[in-house]
Each structure stands twice: as structure tokens, then as C-alpha cells.
Chain A
Amino acid sequence: MSTSNRTKLLLDIGTFLAFLVTMDPHFSGLAIHEWLSIALAGTIVVHLLLNWEWIVNVTKRLFIKTTNGTRFNYVLNWLLFIDGILIMLSGIMISESAMPALGILLPVNSAWRSLHDVSANLALIIMGLHLAMHWNWIVTTFKRVFLGSPGKPAVTGIEQEA
């Protein structure tokens, strides 16, 4: 799938802003929190599709020929994915707005509530690392897309290796 960096960047910025809003349900209100984060799951799927080549390439070479940085990045991405699933699942299990609105009533288990808190906080740390690892790409692409600055195509060290 060939997609421009511009599309990727715009999607990533939107996803990041939505993620920030979902991090504060008391600020957005619970209904927005729940529906927005359910929609966020869709953008994560698109994010993965846009970066599919990287995922496939690194998966193939993970144990053969790749740097420790790329390996770390790969494991971190999996952790983010798994943590994201836990956030979504626990959120759905404690849902007070979206699931009842869909007529879905779920059993109450206090563990989901704590898991939702813990996994959301963990996501912040992993997301911070994820952004730091891609910082060069973000800054270069941002400059090219929004400031029209020319220069080399934005490729991070990590992506270059893939």
C-alpha cells in the first residue's frame, strides 16, 4: 500500500489528539470518552495498515538481521497494541454509556475498573517512548507538510533499517 507521509501524519495527529481527550473522561464527559475511544480503535487499525510494510519486514527479520533499536521498537509496538486491547476491553466492561445505549449489559467485576486505570496509565509511558522513537520522522514530516520545508524524505533510523 503506497501512502504519502502526509496522510500518515494527519491520521497520527488526529489519533494523538483523540487519545489525549480520552485520557480525561471528566473533561470530555463520559459519553464522549466512550464513543471517541471506540472510534479510536478504527484509526488504530488504519494506522497499522499504513505501516504494514514495516511490520511485515521487521517481523521477518526480527531474529536474523536487525538492530537492537529496531527490536526494542518492535517489542514496544506490540506492548502498545496489547495494552490498547486491555484498555478497550476493560473500558467496554465498565461502560456506563455506550454499551447500555447499545442494549448490551455486562457483568460487573471490579477488576476491570482497576485494569482500565492501570492500562491507561501504562499506555502513557509506552506512548511517550513510541513518540520519542519516531520523533525525527514526526518533526521532519511536520516541517515538510506544514511549513513546506524541502529536504530529504523523512525516515527515522529505525524505519530506514526495515
Chain B
Amino acid sequence: MKTLFRVLLILVVATLIGGVMYIGVDASGSSNAPSFGDDEGRPQLPAGGEFRPDGDGDAFRPEGRDHDEGGLGFPGGVIKALVLMSIAGGIYSVIAWAGKKAKRTVTTT
């Protein structure tokens, strides 16, 4: 029961934060395609109908790039992730170490 309450709490907080983000992005009005809101003049789909945008399909997400479905090529993104995380963690560790050292020097003098 306690765990269920905690899970619900996490989900509620996440939903609230996500809701604020959604409203923020929506209000920024950078949509580049017709909204699906019913009051925006979208043609209604027949019951059970599927949304099929005009064009060759790729045009639906003009900003999307080609992505190979299979993957498993060179894991450049994984390496980039490891490098960036190491740099951030390394900088933190150096600062933390220097701070501790400075404290020690002050207390011993």
C-alpha cells in the first residue's frame, strides 16, 4: 500500500511537470503542421479510419532524418555519451577534491 502510494506520487508529480512542459511548448506555437484538435478544421476520419498524410510519408516529418531501422553500426552515440559523462564527472571530482584539500590545509595551518 505504501509502495503503491509512492508510485502514484511519482507518477502524479511527473504528469504535472510534463503537463506544464506540454502547455509551454504548445503555447510557444511553433507547430509546423495542422493540429489534430477537433476544433481546428481537421477533416474527421471515418470510424476506424487511419490517418494518412498526403505525400510520400517522409514528408510528414520533414525535420526527421533518415534512420536505419536495423542499427548496430558504429556506436558513436554511446561513445559520445561515455565521453561527455566522464568529462562532467571528472570536472566535478576535481572541484570536489580541490575543495577538500583546501579545507584540510586550512584546518592544519
Contact = CB atoms under 8 A, between A and B. Distances in A.
A96 B61 contact: yes
A35 interface: no
A20 interface: yes
A22 B74 CA distance: 14
A88 B67 CA distance: 19
A110 B69 contact: no
Contact of B60 (A1, A108, A115, A121): A108
Interface residues of A, number: 47
Contact of A132 (B26, B74, B88): B88
A26 B21 CA distance: 27
Contacts of B12: none
A28 B85 contact: no
Given A107-B35, A124-B81, A27 B76 contact: yes
A26 B61 CA distance: 17
Interface in A35-55: 45, 48-49, 52
Name which of B6, B68, B92 has the most chain A CB atoms within 10 A of its CB.
B92
A155 interface: no
B67 A110 contact: no
Given A21-B78, A106-B36, A27 B72 contact: yes
Contact of A49 (B3, B74, B77, B92): B3
Contact of B89 (A25, A32, A132): A132
A121 B88 contact: no
Contact of B71 (A32, A49, A94): A32
Interface of A: 1, 19-21, 23-32, 45, 48-49, 52, 81-82, 85-86, 88-89, 94, 96, 105-113, 115, 121, 124-129, 131-133, 135
Given A24-B78, A48-B10, A108-B61, 15 more contacts: A25-B77, A26-B73, A26-B76, A28-B72, A45-B10, A82-B17, A107-B34, A109-B30, A109-B31, A112-B25, A124-B88, A128-B84, A131-B85, A132-B88, A132-B89
The 9 lowest CB-CB distance pairs between A and B, nearest first, are A24-B77, A128-B88, A132-B89, A29-B71, A128-B85, A108-B33, A23-B81, A128-B89, A132-B92
